[in-house]
Structure 1
């Protein structure tokens, strides 16, 4: 097979980075050679994100920019923003640049067979039940590889478009997780990021898999005898509700775990959390867990995602959040302004705040 060149641009979360790596390895196995200049590529692929309006806009602008840079290349748009591209075109932008192939997130797996039209087609026949997408990797371009263990989310936070773009929760079989972690450790990676769209929902689609904490215990038991002390795991994101007795005890028992937590907190005010559809936890759950972990991890990293300006947020809600941040030993925070996403429940809420607020 004659060599052909491809170029990737990836937006969004660590799961997207992981899936790009999986496609990269699959295309290289089919004779593809990655290049750093889209103008030299035969295939250009945009792996997009739609979690915020800015993320969607960045991916859409990349499509236009890359068509100009590589007019003869096969241009593919996939990922979470792909299903929104047609809506953008219909709303007064009929003359916008069209990719040669648009594959929504649910069909991204088809690209594992290659980037060409005859290969990237959904199988004919009756629709089949969703299954965990068969992405897998053997290496990573960065020092800390991502290990994807879960996809999708069924919680439907009122601000979040992810359930519309990635669909229902799908969990990766534990034996596949362990095998890939071993591959990455043997390849020389010293730290692996365990990631998913919503780790709290791991195993909900298959009771035989257990929950996320049982997965972490199995992973540690299988690999710690060989790799403890020369390799470790980092968890991408947890919710405060996961930091119950089982969660804290699992964190303290694992021998290969990095002493760091990133928490999908979003807010500390309970009225705001309830409007977000996240009333199943409180900020105090995080504080109690950190107090318990301090004896085991006297020095640890602690980060959080926080959304500012959610519809209906009051000054007293902001004061509650600021007090919580001052009282909690955060190492850092990822703070985002609320982004209005069409199709979400919050899009229809009253009390949207001016952007300057």
Structure 2
């Protein structure tokens, strides 16, 4: 049987799609781009724009695959299955839990066998899915956690994903060992809110505990952390993990606003002062580390003065990169019901200013590496040059011959290039 996959949204969705592809292959099915018997759409619902993208995807895929079984799983399928039904394009709705069952549901539908059940749900425990490794890739995602208990004012995801559920440490260790055997050189630990990892386990386990066990057990594997709530960064986290050279020096610390009054309206559980202290801790224990973040501009009632405070805070933290998003109304959230919604033009103008400030910060951060020699792991070719993300998270483009994929090389950084740095093979060992 031939399966095709279509993914929208975040890295967690990407991980889950890769896992479903692996499960399908283990059952003897072929993964194709065209001519599929079944198409599985992994949906996103983080914004209203995402919802429209899902609907457009259903229409497009049905037009391209008129006789295929189409299944929808993921956050949009969990939040609004009725809207999906009304499209009359989707045969199976699976949601965000028990996703492994969607392969069997598609098999039954293609073979015209009675389904075990069209919609599947259940809050249950952490759903184990095997980490898939895309062909030829050196990096893999490993989902260690699902769900979120924060319920920020603008976010629908806790309702789509449910409460925090964590992979047990032993399972994470087994997956990491398997990925190492399969030739993976870097694992990105991902989840919906990985700072909450382990709080649901008995006895509780912290993300710091799991991370240090993984680092110690797999010295030949580099580990990179996904997006972090600032609260996870404390002295214990830094002191315990800083001694491991196989931890990538790249930390994505979620911010959303650099103004305390806006943070309070958002329902974020920290102040700018507390956040800044976390950034300083990281820079103390991990010199030259890359600290990146997300920013929402144009939140309801955000004044020009509040926005100016945010711009000043970006400069104070000296981020290496800032991902800027204009506020988008997400139905069924508290923020959607707030008064003081800003005009689209105001949000766009502030986003443009924030992106300009962010670009200057990135250029300043990358400039510190010019003239230095970095050890990198070539991943793939881009425009005739090898490329690696390096431990700091930004692309490094490599000039020179004799480069072998997955073999570490010393690269002398010559300057800024595209979205990262340009370097040449160094004589240094």
Which TM-score applies when normalising by structure 1?
Answer: 0.89
Q: Does 1:108 align with 2:108?
A: no
CA displacement at 1:243 relative to structure 2: 1.4
- Which residue of structure 2 aligns with residue 25 of structure 1? 22
CA displacement at 1:179 relative to structure 2: 0.9
1:165-314 to 2 correspondences below 5 Å = 165-224=160-219, 227=220, 231-278=221-268, 280-314=269-303
Kept in 1, the 8 Å contact 2:156–2:333? The answer is yes
Q: What is the rounded CA distance, in whole Å, between the counterparts of 1:298 and 1:309 in structure 2?
A: 33
Q: What is the rounded CA distance, in whole Å, between the counterparts of 1:85 and 1:187 in structure 2?
A: 38
Q: What is the rounded CA distance, in whole Å, between the counterparts of 1:182 and 1:143 in structure 2?
A: 14
Secondary structure at the counterpart of residue 81 of structure 1? helix
CA displacement at 1:138 relative to structure 2: 4.9
Secondary structure at the counterpart of residue 293 of structure 2? strand
Kept in 2, the 8 Å contact 1:244–1:289? The answer is yes
Q: What is the rounded CA distance, in whole Å, between the counterparts of 1:58 and 1:143 in structure 2?
A: 30
Structure 2, unpaired ranges of 5+: 347-429
- 1:148-175 alpha-carbon deviations (Å, 9 max, x no partner): 0000112111111001111111000001
Secondary structure at the counterpart of residue 33 of structure 2? coil
CA displacement at 1:89 relative to structure 2: 6.1
Q: What is the rounded CA distance, in whole Å, between the counterparts of 1:112 and 1:247 in structure 2?
A: 39
Q: What is the rounded CA distance, in whole Å, between the counterparts of 2:299 and 2:138 in structure 1?
A: 36
- 1:210-231 alpha-carbon deviations (Å, 9 max, x no partner): 111111112122222xx2xxx2
Which TM-score applies when normalising by structure 2?
Answer: 0.74
Kept in 1, the 8 Å contact 2:168–2:201? The answer is no
Q: 1:132–1:316: structure 2 CA closer, same or farther, 3 Å change rule?
A: same
- Which residue of structure 2 aligns with residue 356 of structure 1? 345
Kept in 1, the 8 Å contact 2:292–2:319? The answer is yes
Q: Does 1:98 align with 2:98?
A: no
Secondary structure at the counterpart of residue 100 of structure 2? helix
Kept in 2, the 8 Å contact 1:113–1:119? The answer is no
CA displacement at 1:29 relative to structure 2: 1.3
Kept in 2, the 8 Å contact 1:52–1:341? The answer is yes
Query: How many residues are aligned here?
Result: 340
User: Which moved further from structure 2: 168-177 or 331-340?
Assistant: 331-340
Kept in 1, the 8 Å contact 2:21–2:132? The answer is no
Q: What is the rounded CA distance, in whole Å, between the counterparts of 2:20 and 2:161 in structure 1?
A: 17
Q: Does 1:36 align with 2:33?
A: yes
Q: What is the rounded CA distance, in whole Å, between the counterparts of 1:307 and 1:119 in structure 2?
A: 46
More relative contact order, 1 or 2 (CA 8 Å, 6+ apart): 1
Kept in 1, the 8 Å contact 2:93–2:118? The answer is no
- Which residue of structure 2 aligns with residue 53 of structure 1? 48
Q: Does 1:341 align with 2:338?
A: no
CA displacement at 1:88 relative to structure 2: 3.4
Q: 1:251–1:324: structure 2 CA closer, same or farther, 3 Å change rule?
A: farther
Q: Which has more radius of gyration?
A: 2
CA displacement at 1:52 relative to structure 2: 1.3
